[in-house]
Structures are given as structure tokens and as C-alpha cells.
């Protein structure tokens, strides 16, 4: 692994690869100013490079970038941010050049000739961390902000950058250290101190455990905001899949990147639900209703469902359940129970959802119980009764939906509507919930959005409340801290000697320090920052 801390002056082009009107080269380190003095000549300044020009911090200079012989490489703006008032807390010089490529490359090359070294991925942010400008969780938030695909993901990263997560973890770590100090004192000078107040200690450890649990609960939200979801619309032609896709895409569009296993016959739309970037997979426009087309529809539905995290089976609520629906249902849902991986079943099937939840306890599936080893199983699913504006069962729903209606009764009413539309009970039971929608009037779309978030395990996102969230690395360390605290509790309960308590308390402290950056190895730092882009 590369040496984490060195005193080289580093340089990189920090603007994106896409062609723009301006590119920025950033220099950071003790030689940033001497290098700038070789590379830059301020307008109206002395003829010879480096003659007497000293940049003032937070001032912008206009002039020329020059090669070793003094020939012009570009007309540039230079911005000086001298230590400690810079991103890295070192001397930072930024040179703004014209265009996307050639000028920036030439000026960068010149900076390297003049003594800078090309920055490694994430090295500017690494220095910000090493110099105490950011704690480790803030540094990781920088990467998350850069990678954010939705406004909510950016907000969540900003909340992390604001230090909320870092403070929380540091406070928990400090509490661990305080507890350790009290115990260690007893180990060292047993006779001089009053005996440990064990009940108070037990309470403090328990409170710490609860706090860790609350922090960990943000992990699912974070994962969804970063990775998003694949949601497949399946159903026979003309039930309104494409119309639903359009109705749902009405608001914010997600930036869809790089989806593995894309099938050409499947239309993808990037949408955002509760801040979660969602790729909607729709079977491509099948208009006629010949047998062949029906058959293709079935196959495409299956293909879409196979690559999805959540499946929406759309049924025409006006015509009700047909043989065609039964065929698609059999093809897509016939093979075994839903999978419970990625925690997608977390809230459904907990038994407190009333009528609608009951289907979930059999289909939403309990984690680990979906036998068929090796096979991926199918994604959890929602039944969507579309065209409810035309459906005769709609009046019933409207009544049930009265302003103060409870979620349970709505879910119940949707199950009733499913039954009334002729959906067999055995089929209804395969879905986590049934939702009535109208792509035409937009009725029920909010219910559909929150049912998707609920099924994805992040119902709180439906209300738009986005805060900081722990990432996978942080969650892994926090779980280790939690387990260590549980061992402390067990040691206390079993009345084991005091040094058993302190061993695990020390482990918890170290695990928390891996998140805050107080106890982090060079190896971990390397792996975190190597995932950044060069220039960050």
C-alpha cells in the first residue's frame, strides 16, 4: 500500500472529464506556492517568472501559465488558499484554464515538471482528514455527495458532511472511554476507590447499545439512497403498465447509470421515490393482442421480474382477473416463495399490519427461510389494481379511504377489491399488499409509492425525512461495537472478573474509532480513499 502520509506537493485536474469551458488544476502542499511561482506569471507582473510575486490567501490573480522557456500555455486565473484556510489545510493553489482537455493537461504537466506529484485517488480529501479538517465520516460523505444520484442522496451526504454522524459516533466512543477509565481505575487501585456502581454501569452500557442501534437503523436508508432499486412492472398488454410508468415518472427523474443485465426488450425509466433512485423496468410497447404478442409479453415479464428487487404485477381493475393474468402470475410467481434478501421484507409481515399484512407473512417471507439454495428466488411483489377510475369496486374503496382511514383498513379494502376483481385468494396471498391505482387520474399513486418504500424497508423515506446514514463499512464496524457491548453485558450478568468487561469495552471503543477515524489503520484508509476519483 502507498504511504498514507507524506509531504509531497500533489497536483491533479479536479474538474470532470466531460468537456467544459473551464478546467481546474489543484495543487496542495508546502511547495504549492514555489511551483505556482514557476508556472504562473501575473498580468502586469515582472517579465521573468517567479520574480517577486507572492500570492495572498483567498485572492484571485489573472495571468499566463508558462512553460520552462516562458512561452504561454494558456491564459489563466489563479486562486490561492494558504494554510490552514484551505480544503486540505495545506497551501492550495488552483489554476483555472480554458476548456476541457488540452490546456489543463499542459498546465498539469508543467506543474509536475516543476516538482509536484500526481495526486492519488482521494488524496486531497485524505489530507483534509489527516490534517484534522474533516473526520473520517465527513470524508466519506464527500465521496457520497460526489456520487449522489438524487437530491435526497445529496441531502443525506450533506448531513453527514455537516458532522452529524461523526459527532454521534465520537460521543458514543467517548462514553466507552469514560466507562473504560472507571473500570481500569478499579483494576489498578482497587482499595482506594469506592466500589463500582454496577447497576448504573449496566444502565449506561444498555443506553449505549440503544444508541448504536438507532445509528445502525440508518444503514438501510443509506443503502437505498446510494444503490437504489430495480422495480419491474409485469402484466399482460393494455393493463396500463406504460401509463403507470409515465405517471410515476412525472416528478423528479433519476440519473440512471450503468445497469447490469439490461435486456433490449425492456424499457427502463429512472424515477425517484422518496429520494430513492428507482429504475422502472417495463416490457416494451406491445399494443396488439394476438397470441404471439401475449406470449412475448409473458416472457418479457419474466425477464423483467428476474432482474428486479420488487415486482409490481399490474392487473386491469375494470376487466378483472383474466386467463392472461393467471398465465403471467403462474410464470412469474409460480416458482417458489419470494426471497427475503437485502432486507426487503423488513416491515411487512411483522404481524401488525392488519388484513393487508397477512399476505406478507407468507410471501414477504422470513429471511433465510426461502429454502431453494443457489437460486435467487423471486423478488417480493405488490398487486396493482389499475384503472380504478373505471372499476365498479372503486366506490367501496373511496368510502374506506375517508379522511381518517387507517392504513390497515385501506390495505383491507384493497384486498377486498382484489377479491372483487376476481383475483384468486391464493394469488393475493403471494403479494405483500394490493394497491388500487389509476394512471389516468393519478389516484392511488401515493399509496403505490409508499407501498414500494415500505416493501424496500425504508418507510420513513416516504415522508421526505432524510438525514445522514451510515454506509456499509461504517455499519460493519458499528455492528462489531454492538456485539462487543453485548459481551460486556453478558460478562457483567455472569459476574465475570472486571478485566473481562474491559477487554470487550476496549473492542467496542476501537470499532467506534474505525468509524470516527480515531483508530483507523493505514490499510483501511487506503481502501476508503482509493475508491475516490483522482482530484477529489
* Residues at the interface with ligand GDP (CB under 6 A): 235, 237-243, 386-387, 389-390, 438-440
Report what 509 binds from ligand GDP, Zn ion, none; CB cut-off 5-8 Å by kind.
none
Residue (149 or 387) nearer to ligand GDP, CB: 387
Report what 240 binds from Zn ion, ligand GDP, none; CB cut-off 5-8 Å by kind.
ligand GDP
Answer for the pair 254, 149: CB distance below 8 angstroms, yes or no: yes
Shortest Å distance, C-beta 295 to ligand GDP: 15
What is the Cα–Cα distance from 414 to 431, expressed in whole angstroms?
12
Residue count, binding to Zn ion (CB under 5 A):
2
What is the Cα–Cα distance from 356 to 298, expressed in whole angstroms?
27
Residue (443 or 518) nearer to ligand GDP, CB: 443
Shortest Å distance, C-beta 285 to Zn ion: 5
Answer for the pair 305, 379: CB distance below 8 angstroms, yes or no: yes
Shortest Å distance, C-beta 262 to ligand GDP: 19
Tell me which stretch binds Zn ion (CB under 5 A): 20-28, 241-249, 418-426, 432-440.
241-249
Residue (214 or 287) nearer to ligand GDP, CB: 287
What cell does 18 get? 466531460
Q: Which residue of the chain is nearest Zn ion when measured via CB?
A: 242
Q: Does 215 bind Zn ion (CB under 5 A)?
A: no
Report what 37 binds from Zn ion, ligand GDP, none; CB cut-off 5-8 Å by kind.
none
Shortest Å distance, C-beta 316 to Zn ion: 12
Answer for the pair 100, 53: CB distance below 8 angstroms, yes or no: no
Neighbours of 361 (CB within 10 A): 17
Shortest Å distance, C-beta 88 to Zn ion: 52
Residue (270 or 349) nearer to ligand GDP, CB: 270
Answer for the pair 281, 308: CB distance below 8 angstroms, yes or no: yes
Residue (240 or 535) nearer to ligand GDP, CB: 240
Shortest Å distance, C-beta 332 to Zn ion: 16
Closest by CA position to 99, among listed 12, 13, 36, 27: 13
Answer for the pair 9, 32: CB distance below 8 angstroms, yes or no: yes
Tell me which stretch binds Zn ion (CB under 5 A): 17-25, 80-88, 240-248, 398-406.
240-248
Q: Does 301 bind Zn ion (CB under 5 A)?
A: no
Residue (54 or 323) nearer to ligand GDP, CB: 323
Report what 238 binds from ligand GDP, Zn ion, none; CB cut-off 5-8 Å by kind.
ligand GDP
Residue (244 or 453) nearer to ligand GDP, CB: 244
Shortest Å distance, C-beta 204 to ligand GDP: 56
User: Which stretches does DSSP call E strand in 29-143?
Assistant: 40-42, 59-66, 72-81, 92-98, 117-118
User: Omega before 84 cis (within 30°)?
Assistant: yes
Output the CA–CA distances (angstroms, integers) from residue 371 to 331, 334, 382, in the order listed.
19, 15, 22
**DSSP per residue, 191-259:** GGSPPP-HHHHHHHHHHHHHHHHHHHTHHHHHHHHHH-EEEEEE-STTSSHHHHHHHHTTSPBP-----
Report what 362 binds from Zn ion, ligand GDP, none; CB cut-off 5-8 Å by kind.
none
Residue (300 or 387) nearer to ligand GDP, CB: 387
Task: Indicate the DSSP class of residue 315.
Answer: E
Shortest Å distance, C-beta 317 to ligand GDP: 8
Neighbours of 47 (CB within 10 A): 7
Residue (173 or 241) nearer to Zn ion, CB: 241
Report what 275 binds from Zn ion, ligand GDP, none; CB cut-off 5-8 Å by kind.
none
Residue (86 or 438) nearer to ligand GDP, CB: 438
Strands 40-42 and 72-81: unpaired
What is the Cα–Cα distance from 353 to 169, expressed in whole angstroms?
34
Report what 218 binds from ligand GDP, Zn ion, none; CB cut-off 5-8 Å by kind.
none
Q: Does 242 bind Zn ion (CB under 5 A)?
A: yes
What is the Cα–Cα distance from 150 to 183, expressed in whole angstroms?
47
User: Which stretches does DSSP call E strand in 29-166?
Assistant: 40-42, 59-66, 72-81, 92-98, 117-118
Which residues bind to Zn ion, rule: CB under 5 A? 241-242
Amino acid at each position: 500500500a502507498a504511504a498514507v502520509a507524506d509531504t509531497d506537493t500533489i497536483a491533479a485536474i479536479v474538474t470532470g472529464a466531460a468537456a467544459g469551458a473551464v478546467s481546474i488544476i489543484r495543487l496542495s502542499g508546502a511547495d504549492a506556492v514555489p511551483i505556482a511561482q514557476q508556472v504562473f506569471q501575473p498580468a502586469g507582473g515582472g517579465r521573468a517568472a517567479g520574480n517577486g510575486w507572492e500570492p495572498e490567501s483567498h485572492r484571485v490573480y489573472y495571468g499566463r501559465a508558462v512553460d520552462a522557456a516562458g512561452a504561454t500555455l494558456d491564459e489563466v486565473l489563479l486562486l490561492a488558499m494558504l494554510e490552514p484556510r484551505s480544503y486540505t489545510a495545506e497551501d492550495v493553489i488552483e489554476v483555472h484554464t480554458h476548456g476541457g482537455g488540452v490546456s489543463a493537461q499542459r498546465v498539469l504537466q508543467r506543474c509536475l515538471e516543476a516538482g509536484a506529484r500526481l495526486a492519488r485517488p482521494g488524496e486531497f480529501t485524505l489530507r483534509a482528514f489527516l490534517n484534522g479538517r474533516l473526520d473520517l465520516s465527513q470524508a466519506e460523505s464527500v465521496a457520497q455527495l460526489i456520487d449522489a444520484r438524487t437530491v435526497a442522496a445529496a441531502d443525506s451526504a450533506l448531513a453527514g458532511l455537516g458532522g452529524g454522524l461523526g459527532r454521534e459516533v465520537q460521543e458514543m466512543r467517548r462514553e466507552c472511554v469514560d466507562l473504560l477509565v472507571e473500570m481500569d481505575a478499579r483494576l489498578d487501585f482497587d482499595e482506594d476507590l469506592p466500589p463500582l456502581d454496577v447497576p448504573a454501569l449496566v444502565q449506561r452500557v444498555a443506553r449505549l447499545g440503544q444508541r448504536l442501534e438507532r445509528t445502525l437503523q440508518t444503514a438501510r436508508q443509506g443503502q437505498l439512497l446510494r444503490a437504489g432499486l430495480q422495480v419491474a412492472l409485469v402484466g399482460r398488454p393494455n393493463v396500463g403498465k406504460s401509463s403507470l410508468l409515465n405517471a410515476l415518472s412525472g416528478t423528479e427523474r433519476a440519473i440512471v447509470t450503468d445497469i447490469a443485465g439490461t435486456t433490449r426488450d425492456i424499457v427502463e425509466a429512472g424515477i425517484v421515490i422518496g429520494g430513492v433512485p428507482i429504475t422502472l423496468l417495463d416490457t416494451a410497447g406491445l399494443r396488439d393482442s394476438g397470441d404471439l404478442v401475449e406470449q412475448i409479453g409473458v416472457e418479457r415479464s419474466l425477464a423483467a421480474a428476474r432482474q428486479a428487487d420488487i415486482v409490481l404485477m399490474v392487473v386491469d381493475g375494470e376487466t378483472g382477473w383474466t386467463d392472461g393474468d393467471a398465465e403471467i402470475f403462474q410464470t412469474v410467481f409460480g416458482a417458489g416463495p419470494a426471497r427475503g434478501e437485502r432486507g426487503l421484507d423488513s416491515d411487512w409481515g411483522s404481524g401488525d399490519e392488519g388484513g393487508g399484512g397477512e399476505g406478507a407473512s407468507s410471501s414477504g417471507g422470513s429471511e433465510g427461510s426461502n429454502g431453494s439454495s443457489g437460486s435467487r428466488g423471486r423478488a417480493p411483489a405488490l398487486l396493482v389494481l389499475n384503472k380504478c377510475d373505471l372499476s365498479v369496486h372503486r366506490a367501496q374503496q373511496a368510502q374506506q379511504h375517508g379522511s381518517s382511514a387507517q392504513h390497515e383498513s385501506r390495505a383491507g379494502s384493497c384486498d377486498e377489491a382484489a377479491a372483487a376483481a376476481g383475483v384468486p385468494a391464493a394469488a393475493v396471498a403471494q403479494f405483500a399488499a394490493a394497491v388500487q391505482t389509476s394512471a389516468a387520474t393519478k389516484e392511488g399513486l401515493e399509496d403505490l409509492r409508499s407501498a414500494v418504500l415500505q416493501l424496500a424497508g425504508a418507510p420513513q423515506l416516504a415522508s421526505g425525512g432524510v438525514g445522514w446514514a451510515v454506509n456499509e463499512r461504517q455499519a460493519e464496524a458499528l455492528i462489531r461495537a454492538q456485539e462487543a457491548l453485548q459481551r460486556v453485558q453478558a460478562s457483567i450478568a455472569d459476574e465475570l472478573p472486571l478485566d473481562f468487561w474491559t477487554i470487550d469495552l476496549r473492542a467496542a471503543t476501537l470499532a467506534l474509532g474505525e468509524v470516527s477515524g480515531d483508530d483507523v489503520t493505514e490499510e483501511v484508509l487506503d481502501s476508503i480513499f482509493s475508491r475516490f476519483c483522482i482530484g477529489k
